[in-house]
Structure 1
Amino acid sequence: MRTDPGPLTGKVALVTGASSGLGEATALRFAELGAGVVLAARRAERCEALAARIVASGGIAHAVRADMASATDVQAMVATTLERFGRLDCAVNNAGVAGPMRTPLAEVSEADWDAVIDVNLKGTWRCMKHEIPAMLAGDGGAIVNVASIYGLKPSDVGHSTYAASKHGVIGLTRSAAADYGQCALRINAVAPGFTRSEMVDPGRPGGAEHYARMVARHSGMNRLGEAAEAANAIVWLCSPEASYINGAVLAVDGGGATRMY
């Protein structure tokens, strides 16, 4: 952690899905640049451990247990942020679930469909519903919603529910950006490609071969992304350096390849 004041010193950032992967990397990057960070996820113990790491390194962090499928949890998450820090400047809505994979659309159960949409799409809406008023009550701010390359193109791995949810996140982001662009509030999205995480783990049985095929089809750099690479893009979109970027969707995917052969 840096000892000199960082460019985000005095700012407060809320990161959902902060217990691992991209969310964890994003929280660490915010803290490195001087922001106070609220870490939110269902796995409270992992957020608490990450908060302790940040504090031990000289940063500022607080952990909150929150399920993005619960309106009560989401409202309490934002309220806790305001109670603890008195403001909210940046929010990263990253929490998500994968849902059924390698499953043709007509074979997806209604329960599975609802579960994915409830977290990935409606959960993002729930977060913004409470984050936006908190930011408007202060000096404005920046929100980044985490979509996916499958929010920009079809899924080719029987992942239709996830793709539908992430297309929805992009539409929600662009529409909200138009609603609040004149209110000192910027709302953007990132669309990560295949990035190492609990969802994308080449160490699983058969994982190395599977992800080698996927990156050959979807990454012009022919490799998996690292969580820190997506985190850098997210935090940059929240920073003053991105002050005239609003309603954008930034693909962090190594350059699309989509070699369908």
Structure 2
Amino acid sequence: MGTWDDTGAAGIAGFLSSNAHDIYPSIDPSKVQLPKPYVVCIVGASRGIGAGIAHAYAHAGASGLVLASRRVSGLEQVAAECTKINPKVRIEIVACDITSDSSVQALASKTKSTFGRLDVCVVNSGYTGPIEAKVTETPAGDFINASNVNYVGTFLTAKYFIPLLLATEGGAKALIAVGTLAAFMVKGMIANPHYNVSKAAQLRLMETIHEEYSSEGLAAYTIHPGGVLTEMVKAAVPEAVHAYCLDSTELAGGFCVWLSKDQSHEWLSGRFASANWDADELDAKKDVVLKKNLLRFTVDV
């Protein structure tokens, strides 16, 4: 991963020998035909990675998409792009503040009243803030915002969408959080006490959700979307890191579809996976991962 990364995240990034940067045949959503009906809600869909995820499910033949974000204007553009990909998809645009209990609850209610079901919920909303600050130099507002968006927002989405996912008979029942390798970084150029720690809390929350609901059929995945030069990254990450952001906005979308198109990858529920990893190589590691309980937070003693 380069000198900007610390050894923990570098080890995770190198878990497999592959390093994909864009869609490849095994995760190409245009080669997938999702069952009908199949409804997906994407929170944080107005641009970048969220838009790429919406495109992927449109390519895969989703019958319904709920696109949510604070930026409705961006959602309109993504909706138009998805309709161009798949003219048959029904799309609902909903303004939602992921840090607001009432706003997320209203989004879940709108999803239920419009479609009557939900197969996949993707939590993509994220807040970074300036990346280089130490604890004593971090503005309190940045720490609070990162916690509210990255951690509390994931909790609120899970709270109100898990019941809808579980109630969907024959549904995929997949909750996907877009996390980051930064959750494992405590030193280095892009380590900071607000983004990284809040993303670590998000990952731990998803592990907890898996333990609480997997027996009811829920799959809770946390994925690293790859290194994507999004608007947020451009604004917050040191320019020296930009050269490492080589991945397409569509990579994470293809990986999400691969995870949720059927039940064959539910063994990854409660674990962390990177969209950069080759899907076939990852599947081949299944027995090793389960036997050693890998890809989860642990404390060595």
The alignment's TM-score, normalised by the length of structure 1, stands at 0.85
- What's the offset of the Cα at 1:154? 2.4
Q: What does residue range 158-169 of structure 1 map to in structure 2 within 5 Å?
A: 158-169=191-202
- Matched residue SS, 2:220: strand
- Matched residue SS, 1:168: helix
Structure 2 residue 273 is the aligned partner of structure 1 residue 250: yes
Give the CA RMSD over aligned residues. 2.5
Structure 2 residue 177 is the aligned partner of structure 1 residue 145: yes
Q: 1:200 aligns with which of 233, 240, 249?
A: 233
- Matched residue SS, 1:200: helix
Task: Provide closer, same or farther for how the CA distance between residues 55 and 170 of structure 1 changes in structure 2, counting only shifts above 3 A.
Answer: same
- What's the offset of the Cα at 1:7? 2.0
**Partner residue in 1 for 2:37:** 10
**Partner residue in 2 for 1:258:** none
Q: 1:91 aligns with which of 118, 121, 126?
A: 121
Q: Which runs of 5+ in 1 are unaligned?
A: 216-222, 256-261
Q: What's the CA shift string for 1:156-185, capped at 9, x where partnerless?
A: 235221000110111001110010011011
Q: What's the CA shift string for 1:8-51, capped at 9, x where partnerless?
A: 43110000110001100001101111111110000011112221
Structure 2 residue 138 is the aligned partner of structure 1 residue 111: no
CA distance in 2, matches of 1:100, 1:112: 8
**Partner residue in 1 for 2:151:** 121
Task: Provide closer, same or farther for how the CA distance between residues 155 and 188 of structure 1 changes in structure 2, counting only shifts above 3 A.
Answer: farther
Q: What's the CA shift string for 1:100-155, capped at 9, x where partnerless?
A: 32111111122221111001100000000001011122225001111100112325
**Partner residue in 2 for 1:29:** 56
Contact 1:8 1:30 in 2 (8 A): no
- Matched residue SS, 1:92: strand
CA distance in 2, matches of 1:14, 1:147: 17
Structure 2 residue 73 is the aligned partner of structure 1 residue 45: yes
CA distance in 2, matches of 1:243, 1:87: 20
**Partner residue in 1 for 2:92:** 62
Contact 2:111 2:118 in 1 (8 A): yes
**The 10-residue stretch of structure 1 (239-248 or 94-103) with the greater mean CA deviation from structure 2:** 239-248
The code of the aligned residue for 1:182 comes to S
- What's the offset of the Cα at 1:245? 3.0
**The 10-residue stretch of structure 1 (102-111 or 91-100) with the greater mean CA deviation from structure 2:** 102-111
Count of aligned residue pairs for this structure pair? 243
- Matched residue SS, 1:181: helix
Structure 2 residue 166 is the aligned partner of structure 1 residue 136: yes
The alignment's TM-score, normalised by the length of structure 2, stands at 0.74
Contact 2:118 2:168 in 1 (8 A): yes
Q: Which runs of 5+ in 2 are unaligned?
A: 1-28, 279-301
Contact 1:9 1:33 in 2 (8 A): no
Contact 1:143 1:238 in 2 (8 A): no
Structure 2 residue 242 is the aligned partner of structure 1 residue 211: yes
Q: Of the two structures, which has the highest relative contact order with CA contacts closer than 8 Å and spacing of 6 or more?
A: 2
CA distance in 1, matches of 2:178, 2:56: 16
Contact 2:229 2:242 in 1 (8 A): no
CA distance in 2, matches of 1:245, 1:115: 29
CA distance in 1, matches of 2:111, 2:261: 19
Task: Provide closer, same or farther for how the CA distance between residues 239 and 254 of structure 1 changes in structure 2, counting only shifts above 3 A.
Answer: closer
